[in-house]
Amino acid sequence: MSKLRVHLLGVLVLLTGLLSTAGARSAAALPDDLWFDPAAAATLTVQSGRFTDGLGREVVLRGYNVSGETKLAENNGLPFASVADARKSAIALRALGGGNSVRFLLSWAYAEPVRGQVDTAYLAAATAQMGAFLDAGIRIYPDFHQDLYSRHLFDPDSWYTGDGAPKWAVDAGDYPDEYCGICPFWGQNITSNAAVTEASYDFWHNTYGLQDAFLTTAQTTMTYVEQHLTDAQFAGVVGFDPYNEPHAGVYDSGQTSRAWEKDVLWPFYVKFRARMDAAGWQDKPAFVEPNLFWNANIDFQKQEGGLLDSGTLGPRYVFNTHFYDQKAISGVFMWGKAENGQYAGDFGTVRDRAAATGTAAIVSEFGHPLSGTVSDKAPTVLKAMYQALDSRVKGGSWWTSPTQSGPVLSGSQWQWDIYNGRHRELMNGNPDKVLTTGDAWNDEDLSAVRLDDSGTAVLRQDARLLDRIYPSATAGRTVAFTYEDRSRDGSTTLTWNPVPSSLPRVAELVGSGQYALQVWRSDGSAEPTELHLPASFPTASTTVVSDLGVTASPPAYTRTTPIAAAREPGGTGSRRLLLTAAESGVLHYALVTNGATAPSATLLNAARTELANWASTTVG
C-alpha cells in the first residue's frame, strides 16, 4: 500500500471516529491519545511479513497470556472474577510489565456447557473483561485454550487435570480410564495417556461431530464479540488463535506428523478461517499453530512439522508457535543455566518459517517455572528468550553483525495471573484436593505477577527483565534492534551485550545502565517511530543519541520535535519515546540509555559521532 493511501486511510479512520453517526458503535478516544493515535489504532494487518497498524507502521506485539485462570473452575472458565479485576490486571500489565498486547484465553467447556447451547452469560462476561484491556490501550488476540483435551477426562483423585472440551464431548466417546504411567511431567499425558490421545484423535477426525460443534461455537463466540465491542475496541482485537498446541493424539497407520499437519490440521484451519469471515472477522488473521512438537529442543520429543506443506499463508494467517526449553525444565538434560545466545537458533527457525510462509510470526507462549527444582534457571532462561525475540544475533556479535538481526519477534510470555498463590481450585471437582499455591494447575508456577496482601499487583520477576524497551511501532522498517536489560540472576547482573571497546564514548555514556539501540529505515511518515519506555527510564534519566539529535531528557512531544517522550494511550501511566524522521528511505539510529547522569554536550556529541561512523560502516 502506498504511503499516500496509508495517510488517507488514517485520515478516514480519524474522521470516522469524530463523525460517527447516531446508532453506530463508537467510543471516546483513549486517555493520553496523541493526534495520530486513533488512526494508528485501526485494525492491525499483516504486510510484507510484518504486523502493521492503521498508519502502515511496523508493529511489535509484546505481552502476556491472560491467563491460566481460564483453565480453572473457580471463576467458571474466565480469566478474572470480575471486570474490576480485569481492569486492575490490565493497568498493571501495561505499567509494570510493559505489555502492549495479550493472548486472551477462552474456554470451550464454559462457552458450550450443553451441546448446541452457547452460554451467552459466559460470552458477555468474557467480552466485558476483554474490554478492560482494550480500554487500557492493550491489543488482544483470543485463544480457545486446551491442554490434555479436557478436565472431564480425569478422575477426581488423579495426579493431573486438563482443560478445553466440555463434559458432553467427553461423554460422547467411550474413552479408557485415564492413566499416564511413569509421568513426572504433565505434558507426557499428551502422548502417553490413552484417554487423552483417543479423545484428541476423535476431535481431529470429527467423530461424533465434535469438530463441527467446536467450529460452530467458535463462530458464535466471534460473532458475539464483534457485536458487543465498540468499533474502536474491536479494532484492537488483532486476530484469533483457533486451537492451543495441536497434536494428533494418535496418528493413522503410516501417517507422519508432517502428513498430519497437511491432511488434518491445515484443513481445520481453513474451516476456522471461513468461520472467522462469517463472524465479521474478515480483516483479522488466524494465528495458526503447527504441531506443538515441531520445534521441541529434546530430540526424542521433536516431530517434523512447522506447516511445511501449507504453502504461502499470506496476510490472512500468522505463523504462531510456542517455545519452552524442555531441556532446562527437565532438570536432567540441561544442568547449568542458560547462556548468552542460547535460543538464537530456535527463534531464528521461527523467523525462517514465517518468512517461508510469507507472513508475520509470533511466539504466543514462552516461559519457565518460578518455583521448584529448576526455578534457579528462570532468570537466565527468560533473559535468553527475550534476547532471541529481539534479535537472532547474540550479544557480543550484535555490534559487528547488526543487519543479521532479522525482524523483532512478537511474543506473549506465559503468564499473567494476578491470583497466583491465592487460588481455591477444587482439582477435578474434588473437595478434598483444594489447590491454592502457584497457578493451581498441574503444579505449574509461571505467573510473572501476583497480588500482595493489600490487593496491589506486584511483579514476581525482575522488572528489568520484563519491562523492556522494544520498537512498538516503526515508521518504516527496522533494520536491527538490541536491548541490554542488565537483569539479575540473584545478585549477579547479567550483561550479555556490552558496548564494545571500539566505541569508548558510547560505552562511557551507557556506563552500567540499560540501553537499547534501534536502527531503522524511515518511510517519510509524519507520524513517529515509537519505543516503549520502561519505568526504569524516567524522562529525567533518559538519554537519547541519534542522527535526529541528542538529548539528556526528552521534551514533551510536538509534531516538530524529532526526539520526544509521551504517555502511551490508555491512561495507565506507561510511556513511550517518539522519534520523528520526515525523510523516506533514510537510515536512522537511536541509542536510548539510562546510564548517564547529566552527560555533557561534549560526551553526547562524541557518542553521536561514534554511532554515526558505526552505522555507516556496519549497516551502510
**3-state SS string over 202-240?**
HHHCCHHHHHHHHHHHHHHHHHHHHHHCCHHHHHCECCE
Domains in the chain: ranges and CATH: 54-467 (3.20.20.80), 476-619 (no CATH)
For residue 200, the one-letter residue type is S
Q: Which three cell numbers stand for residue 500?
A: 564494545
DSSP class of residue 190? H
Overall pTM surpassing 0.75 (yes/no): yes
pLDDT of residue 28: 59
**How many CB atoms neighbour CB 450 within 10 A?**
16
52 forms bridges with which residues in the sheet?
A: 45, 58
Q: Which three cell numbers stand for residue 122?
A: 459466559
3-state SS class at 111: helix
Beta strand pairing call for 286-288 and 139-144: unpaired
DSSP class of residue 574? -
Q: How far apart are CA 293 and CA 295, in angstroms?
A: 6
For residue 298, the one-letter residue type is I
CB of 271 within 8 A of CB of 215?
Answer: yes
Q: Which residues make Cβ contacts (< 8 Å) with residue 387, sequence separation at least 6?
A: 340, 341, 343, 344, 394, 395, 496, 497
Q: How far apart are CA 425 and CA 429, in angstroms?
A: 8
pLDDT of residue 37: 97
Q: Where are the alpha helices (DSSP H) in 263-325?
A: 266-278
Q: Which three cell numbers stand for residue 545?
A: 543519541
Q: Where are the alpha helices (DSSP H) in 363-520?
A: 378-390, 463-466, 504-510
pLDDT of residue 86: 98
pLDDT of residue 614: 98
pLDDT of residue 396: 85
Beta strand pairing call for 286-288 and 317-323: parallel
Q: State which residues of the chain have pLDDT below 70.
A: 1-28
pLDDT of residue 354: 97
Q: How far apart are CA 348 and CA 246, in angstroms?
A: 22
Beta strand pairing call for 410-413 and 62-66: parallel
pLDDT of residue 357: 96
549: left (phi over 0), alpha (psi -120 to 50) or beta: left
Of 40, 137, 34, 43, nearest in space to 93 by CA? 137
pLDDT of residue 115: 98
- Quote the distance between the C-alpha of residue 607 and its chain's center: 34
Of 55, 142, 62, 70, nearest in space to 110 by CA? 70
Q: How far apart are CA 3 and CA 52, in angstroms?
A: 13
DSSP class of residue 147? B
Q: How far apart are CA 176 and CA 46, in angstroms?
A: 44
**How many CB atoms neighbour CB 620 within 10 A?**
8
Q: Which three cell numbers stand for residue 459?
A: 511483579
Q: Which residues make Cβ contacts (< 8 Å) with residue 356, sequence separation at least 6?
A: none
528: left (phi over 0), alpha (psi -120 to 50) or beta: beta
DSSP class of residue 102? E
Helix and strand totals (H; E) in the chain: 18, 25
Query: For residues 568, 572, 575 and 578, what is the CA-based torsion angle, rounded to 10 degrees?
Result: 10
Beta strand pairing call for 425-426 and 549-551: unpaired
Cis? peptide before 303, omega within 30° of 0: no
pLDDT of residue 456: 98
Q: How far apart are CA 418 and CA 93, in angstroms?
A: 10
CB of 327 within 8 A of CB of 334?
Answer: yes
As a residue count, the chain comes to 620
pLDDT of residue 257: 98
CB of 594 within 8 A of CB of 531?
Answer: no
E-state strands within 403-504: 410-413, 425-426, 434-435, 449-451, 457-459, 473-474, 476-484, 488-489, 492-493
CB of 144 within 8 A of CB of 112?
Answer: no
If you search the block for the grid coordinates 522494544, which residue do you land on?
Answer: 470
